[in-house]
Amino acid sequence: MSNPFGDSNWHAMSREQLDAGLNNGVAVAGSAEIATGWGQRSDAMKAKYPAHLDVPYGPRERNKFDLIKVADGGPVLLLIHGGYWQMRSKDFFTCFAAGPIAHGINVAAIGYTLAPEATLDEIVAEIHAGIDALVDQAGKLGIDAGRIVVSGWSAGGHLTATALSHPKVKGGVAISGIYDLEPIRASYLNEKLKLDEAMSKRQSPLMADGGPDKPLALIVGGAELPILRQQTADLAAHRARHGLPVSYEEVPGADHFSIMAELEKPEGRITTLIKELVARI
């Protein structure tokens, strides 16, 4: 029987095939221009909400977040950018606050140190430090530290899954993520990430014995690369086997970049999942 996700068995791929099977930028025509548009709209978002930009949470240059605040004392979504842990920044991701803020959800778009300047262990620790800062500064920022949820795209989807272990995080929505890092370790992406087997397994949610008992919505585009679709489905099955709250869905026809319209739109499917998650806490 054929795999509904397509050719997702990375073990059977050559290095060239695996590299192509993980390269979202090549797979989506015009991806660079799309990301440029995200940056421009993020600049416009920050110009509209300038009060809490580049809030530091740690000692390194990228240890900052932009808080787009629309509801005093309201819940907050920590939003984590993608780029395979080695590209991009929060400065092209703040635009995606547009969907959640339409429903009174404050959004903190967080930056983190990129590989190779930071290991994946350090990147995960930085996200946790950012959550600590949101909690510690909640009174000053005017947000509810008891209602923090997390969402992220691509590498940010992976970081969303790892952020669930933070005691103050109530749940997450992970978008188009990688949850088993072994294919990353075998690909061109490891030239900067420098994963060894121990770190790969330690930071792979699919290799964990269970996971945090918090709701996690997993979403991926129906037109995305097969490995990403497979990993999203595999993490949903993994959590279900361990009795952990999880949902899984695909956005029909969406690729790795176009799926983000479902977060930027107030009526988008990802925005709806976040709104539903916040309503449960």
pLDDT at 243: 97
Q: How far is CA 276 from CA 98, 131, 235, in A?
A: 16, 21, 21
CA dihedral sign, ordered 229, 235, 241, 244 = negative
Q: Is 0.75 surpassed by the pTM of this model?
A: yes
pLDDT at 5: 59
Per-residue pLDDT of the chain (281 residues; tens, 9 = 90+): 346 656 668 888 999 999 999 999 999 999 999 999 999 999 999 999 999 999 999 999 999 999 999 999 999 999 999 999 999 999 999 999 999 999 999 999 999 999 999 999 999 999 999 999 999 999 999 999 999 999 999 999 999 999 999 999 999 999 999 999 999 999 999 999 999 999 999 999 999 999 999 999 999 999 999 999 999 999 999 999 999 999 999 999 999 999 999 999 999 999 999 999 999 98
Domain segments of the chain as ranges: 10-279
pLDDT at 1: 37
DSSP assignments along the chain, one per residue: ---TT-S--GGGS-HHHHHHHH-HHHHSTTHHHHHHHHHHHHHHHHHHS-TT-SEE-SSSTT-EEEEE--STTEEEEEEE--STTTS--GGGTGGGGHHHHTTT-EEEEEP-PPTTTS-HHHHHHHHHHHHHHHHHTHHHHTEEEEEEEEEEETHHHHHHHHHTTSTTEEEEEEES-----HHHHTSTTHHHH---HHHHHHT-GGGSSS--SS-EEEEEETTS-HHHHHHHHHHHHHHHHTT--EEEEEETT--TTGGGHHHHSTTSHHHHHHHHHHHT-
Q: Tell me which fold the domain 10-279 belongs to.
A: Rossmann fold (3.40.50)
